[in-house]
Structure 1
Amino acid sequence: MRRVLSRACALALVVGASLAPALPAEAAGNTLTVDVGNVVRPVTHVGSGGLYGVGSDTKPTTDQLLPLSPISFTQPPPGTTHLGNGATEPCCDALDVAGNITRAGAQQFIRMPDIYPTFPYEWQGWTDWENKVRTMVQDRLDATWATNIQGWEIWNEPDWTWDTAAAGSFNDGWTRTHRLIRTMDTVTPIVGPGYATYNHDRMLAFLTNAKNTNTVPDAIVWHELDDMNWNSFDEHVADYRAIENQLGISPRPIAINEYNSYNQMDIPSVAVHWISVLERYGAREAHRAYWFEAGTFDGLFTLDGRPTASYWAYRWYGAMAGNVVRTTPQSWLDGVASYDSTRKIVNVVLGGDSGNNAVRINGLSSFGSSVDVTVSSVPGSGRHTYVPAPTVMSTSTMSVSGGSVTVPVDGMTAEGAYQVVVTPAGGPTSSWQQTYEAENATVVNAQTRSSSGASNGYYVGGIDGSADMRSDSFVDFTVNVPTARSYTMTIRYANGTGATSTHGLAYNGGAWSTVSYPPTAGWAQFSTVSVTVDLHAGYNMIRLAKGSPYFSGGTGYAELDSIRLS
């Protein structure tokens, strides 16, 4: 959604937001419980996406994006004329920013109606629309170098922006447009319906029509834009899954490609609430809403490109590795947590309450009798306030009792965000992350699968596609190394073909080489091979591919469990 407000109305909303009782004034001493042994899902940074979050090939820079571990974006289509939120010229079409987004390890949806200049959209007739659709799709098909277009979003917020009087019903318009796209592009997923709000009757009618016309979306999309709507997200997911079951539709991934309200967009603790429920209730991806300026990652950066308080909350989240583990909120206190078993790090990001609260972490028996604990904070300031770094509130060594430790987080504000990091006494098992799980990486045209034989319990299979840039299969690993030098990269893989298979290997946009995988005992039966990679200090992007632009294609098939740098 973009703003459709006068300057006076917008000012009233901003002032009103500070007066509304949206967040608690004081706390009752609540505890967020973290269960390290209760895995929710592999870390994929579900909430680290944005609508119009990338403004150009350099805004934000790739180096700014990488620590946030973005998963996906929604961007306007090639040839966009859209002027969002008072912009004086169009920006950031999907192909113009594709390189930046790819280097950051993310994918993107193309929002097709943003070919129009205004919002709400001004319908110009079916002939005009269908000509626009053909042009957008052809522009994408001509971009044979672009691998990161993961969906056509046919319309945006049709529950109030679709011109029924001129265009007919939206459900009929969906079917007509879906069929037109498929005459040109049978590969790229189509996502929708993109409603501004979740509504049972509307979703049921849409999916009934989509099933009857064989135009069911490949991913289901709606928006969550009301104040404190995180409280309803679990109900919306449950209702949607019940509709799928009722209609006999196979489960679709859920993408919330706009989340957070106008009033609360700049509040770090609200972002933490959203991240927590998005992870807990099964979204595949979610994008921060576009209420203000394009290219600031929706308020994670100031207009001059410096980090805000919310940036640091997302950076803590972006540093998560391994598995997301179960968190149990109490009252307004909520959070998301991960456990990286390769380094023995528990990372908890929390917020939403004020006063003296606590985080109780269970399942720490393997950490020993004591643990090191660091508690950090960022203030509740908004998108115009530069925050150079989090504040370290405390560092301590605490005794573990019965496999648990309770960490006090005193002096909280309801708007701020907080991080609790727990390691065995003496620190994590390695000073920098060396093992990177494939299921934590960017997985394109392949599947995350579970196996007791896989490290961390998961691996990536079905890395089979090599036909063109739309169906190429690959895994992009974002790694962070301390110094520039050559590293030995050990790949843990499985190859059940009975013959040697190959993948292409490229990193940081460099030349392709070939990795050979001798046969293993079977699928999900893992072995290792080692190669040398020359990496620069800091963040690097490593791609292992069956198919990718400028690569002739791998042979046979292989599954990926992890890579390790040493």
Structure 2
Amino acid sequence: MRRQTTAVLSAAALAVAALLVPAGPATAAGNTLTVDVGTVVRPVTHVAAGGLYAVGSDSRPTTDQLLPLSVNGFTQPPPGTTHLGNGATQPCCDALSVAGNITRAGGQQLIRMPDIYPTFPYRWAGWPDWEQKVRTMVRARLAATTTTNIMGWELWNEPDWTWETAAAGSFHDGWTRTFRLVRSLDPVTPIVGPSWSWYDPARMRAFLTHARDTGTVPDVIVWHELGDMGWNDFAAHVADYRALERSLGISPRQISINEYNSLRQMDIPSVALHWMAVLERHGARDAHRAYWFEAGTFNGLFTTSGRPTASYWAYRWYGDMAGNIVRNVPQSWLDGVASYDSTRRIVNVVLGGDSGNNAVRLTGLGAFGSSVRVTVSSTPGTGRGTAVAAPTVLSSSTVPVTNGSVTVPVNGMTAEGVYQVLVTPAAGPTTSWQQVYEAENATVVNAATRTSSAASNGAYVGGIDGVADMRSHSFVDFVVNVPTARSYTMAVRYANGTGATSTHGLAYNGGAFSTVSYAPTAGWAQFATANVTVQLRAGYNVIRLAKGAPSFGGGVGYAELDSITLR
């Protein structure tokens, strides 16, 4: 978390200053982003669709504003926070007070423990004070028995410059002491860290060595990426971290970048796109837009009055992605993220970073027929102070497919703007609205994504086993979008290798649970279909299939989930 210790500039002034830092060269053109539709990188999980202090209350942004963004993870202050970030006059948005909003939108969150303190840098008041604060925070969370979306305790924030070694002792020893205290109170919730303000190989090696030797290795590794054009370094940071794990004999951890983007570039849409690209490409679990300004605006995706900005539309296009992230090869400053939803035959490419006349070349379109429909849209390079009601459609045309490929010109680009290239068969998507939702694309809580050639998209969710309490309940939340309010038949594609009928709880939009029964299948990852009826409202709905969840006594036996289909 970055807070200015000098006079706070207005958001508008900072937006103008940000635009003076170019996302790419002043003049560049003739570059091509190559998208290989046939090469899968990973399932779509919207890695970069998160934020630090991004949710300001149970209604800011509203759940309806969050749902189209396909949110992933957030970092929020702890229960009982007294923190006054970025000139705020009142503490806000502790994890428990915003939990309902985030859950309704399909998201999870980390709790940043040191934000119990009012100021930043934090003012250390001694070990008895800190340990009492830790006990208070953990007990408050444990008392929130219906809150299921806490995915980790962040023990400290940017200790490389906020930890007072002279008063508190070494950070390594402080980490161990705090880790053991939290574990004694809550042995279930993951612990994440060390949350350095930037990645330093020597510092990370020293920390991991100490953590390994004391049995306090974080469940999820966190660091921050906050430099101008820092996306250029992310691949090297991940590679170095993975090498450290191997050399120290530490099993692979998921990586969370719970602050990304710099102060000067925060409001440049194409810079956010660069971050999306590398975060997807190099294997982050989740990543959160940095908190440089006011809380509750999703860090500039909305104006302070709640209207969408230019950056919002870049994230909205990203949020629309379904199926798999597919391989793309950048050129010069031109980069992007691309997805392929094979059930609807939609390729969604979001790109930016260069100016002038450039192009997108798509290969692997053999299943689309002899021609495709291509729509090119743009969102401008304006910042957080300017509302943008909608993106601009630049062109829509039918293009012949040659040897399974097409090249789409994207002319008149600006280096700060972001562009979308949407490709479907010439007659349009195979269905007018999305009907198939893959479990591996959904919000997966206390379960695991696995791969199988028998799965409908090459992956499924297993290990949906937990029933003990709100920290270990296992479920999958599907965020679906339907055209009309009515009853729908929902086909659940599942596997049940127990040899007997098993069950899950089914609930939608926070309503009462019913039961879905799964007859035995030929084995695990051997799929069959169970049909149920659901009554959905027009627009977005959240459908939960659970082994264990609040207000549900727990399912019988076990089942794996591949997908749901609505008809």
Amino acid at match of 1:74: T
Task: Verify: 1:30 aligned to 2:31, yes or no.
Answer: yes
**Is the alpha carbon distance of 1:95 and 1:21 closer, same or farther for their aligned partners in structure 2, counting shifts above 3 Å?**
closer
| CA deviation string 1:467-520 (max 9, x = no partner) | 000000000000000000000000000000000000000000000100000000
The answer to whether the 8 Å contact 1:22/1:227 transfers is: no
Q: Is the 8 A contact 1:4 1:119 kept in 2?
A: no
Q: How big is the shift at 1:157?
A: 0.3
Q: Check 1:13–1:67 CA distance in 2 against 1; reply closer, same or farther (3 A cut).
A: closer
1:143 corresponds to 2:144 = yes
Structure-to-structure mapping, 1:105-254, within 5 angstroms:
105-254=106-255
Q: Which residue of 2 aligns with 1:425?
A: 426
Matches within 5 A, 1:103-502: 103-502=104-503
Q: Partners of 1:98 and 1:110 in 2: how far apart?
A: 11
User: Counterpart of 2:77 in structure 1: which amino acid?
Assistant: P
Provide the C-alpha distance between the structure 1 equivalents of 2:41 and 2:14, rounded to a whole number of angstroms: 37
Distance 1:81 1:8, change over 3 A: closer
Displacement of 1:7 in angstroms is: 2.2
Mark the CA change 1:498 to 1:524 in structure 2 (over 3 Å): closer, same or farther.
Answer: same
Q: Does 1:7 align with 2:20?
A: no
CA distance in 2, matches of 1:13, 1:205: 37
The SS at the match of 1:54 is coil
Residues 342, 429 of structure 1: 8 Å contact kept: yes
Secondary structure in structure 1 of the residue aligned to 2:111: strand
Q: Distance in 1 between matches of 2:516 and 2:9?
A: 59
Cα distance in structure 1, aligned partners of 2:361 and 2:230: 26
Partner of 1:52: 53
Which amino acid is 1:96 matched to? S
1:551 maps to 552
CA positional deviation for 1:28: 2.9
SS at 1:186's partner residue?
coil
Structure 2 residue identity aligned to 1:2: R
Kept in 1, the 8 Å contact 2:15–2:267? The answer is no
Is contact 2:500–2:520 with CA below 8 Å preserved after alignment? yes
Separation (CA, whole Å) in 2 of partners of 1:50 and 1:9: 21
Distance 2:268 2:22 in 1: 14
Match of 1:276, SS? helix
AA matched with 1:330: Q
Rounded to whole Å, the distance in 2 between the matches of 1:388 and 1:21 is 24
What SS is found at the alignment partner of 1:456?
coil
Structure 2 CA distance for aligned equivalents of residues 453 and 116 of structure 1:
51
Structure 2 Cα separation of the partners of residues 15 and 324 of structure 1 = 33
What amino acid is aligned across from residue 57 of structure 2 in structure 1? S
Flag the 1:9–1:316 CA change in 2: closer, same or farther, 3 A: closer
For residues 14 and 276 of structure 1, the distance between their equivalents in structure 2, rounded to whole angstroms, comes to 23
Cα shift at 1:23:
2.7
Query: Which residue does 2:513 correspond to in 1?
Result: 512
Query: Is the CA contact 1:156–1:193 (under 8 Å) kept in the aligned structure 2?
Result: yes
Partner Cα separation in structure 1 for residue 150 and residue 390 of structure 2: 34
Matched letter for residue 320 of structure 1: M
Decide whether the 8 Å contact of 2:107 with 2:149 is kept in 1. Answer: yes
Q: Distance in 2 between matches of 1:428 and 1:96?
A: 40
Counterpart of 1:561 in structure 2 is 562
Whole-angstrom distance in 2 between the partners of 1:13 and 1:452: 50
Q: Deviations over 1:138-189 (max 9, x none)?
A: 0000000000000000000000000011001111100000000011100000
State the partner residue of 1:521.
522
Using a 3 Å threshold, how does the CA distance of structure 1 residues 270 and 235 change in structure 2: closer, same or farther? same
Gaps of 5+ in 1: none
Conserved 8 A contact 2:19-2:265? no
Q: 1:332 to 1:46 in 2, by over 3 A?
A: same
CA deviation string 1:432-485 (max 9, x = no partner): 000000000000000000000000100000000000000000000000000000
Summarize the Cα distance change of 1:387–1:523 in structure 2 as closer, same or farther, 3 Å threshold. same
- How far the C-alpha of 1:5 sits from its partner, in A, is 3.3
Query: How far did 1:3 drift?
Result: 1.8
* Residue 8 (structure 1) shift: 7.0
Match of 1:261, SS? coil
Code of the residue aligned with 2:49 in structure 1: it is: S
Counterpart CA distance in 2 for 1:404 and 1:33 is 10
Is the contact between residue 18 and residue 266 of structure 2 (CA under 8 Å) also seen in structure 1?
Answer: no
Amino acid at match of 1:189: P
1:76-87 equivalence runs, <5 A: 76-87=77-88
* Alignment correspondent of 1:534: 535
Go from structure 1 to structure 2 and tell me whether the alpha carbon gap of 1:8 and 1:68 turns closer, same or farther (over 3 Å shift): closer
Q: What amino acid is the match of 2:442?
A: A
Q: Which structure 2 residue ranges, 5 or more long, are not aligned?
A: none
**How far apart in 2 are the matches of 1:263 and 1:149?**
31
Aligned-partner SS, 2:114: helix
1:180 and 1:420 map into 2 onto residues whose CA distance is 51
Match of 1:85, SS state, is helix
- Give the Cα separation in 2 of the matches to 1:70 and 1:221: 19
Secondary structure of the equivalent of 1:488? strand
Which piece of structure 1 moves more, 207-216 or 11-20? 11-20
Does the 8 A contact of 2:23 with 2:270 survive in 1? no
TM-score, scaled to structure 1: 0.99
Question: Matches of 1:367 and 1:296 in 2, distance apart?
Answer: 39
Matches of 2:275 and 2:23, distance apart in 1:
14
One-letter identity of the residue aligned with 1:54: V
CA distance in 1, matches of 2:306, 2:47: 23
Counting matched residue pairs gives 566
- 2:564 aligned partner, one-letter code: I
For the residue of structure 2 that corresponds to 1:553, the secondary structure is coil
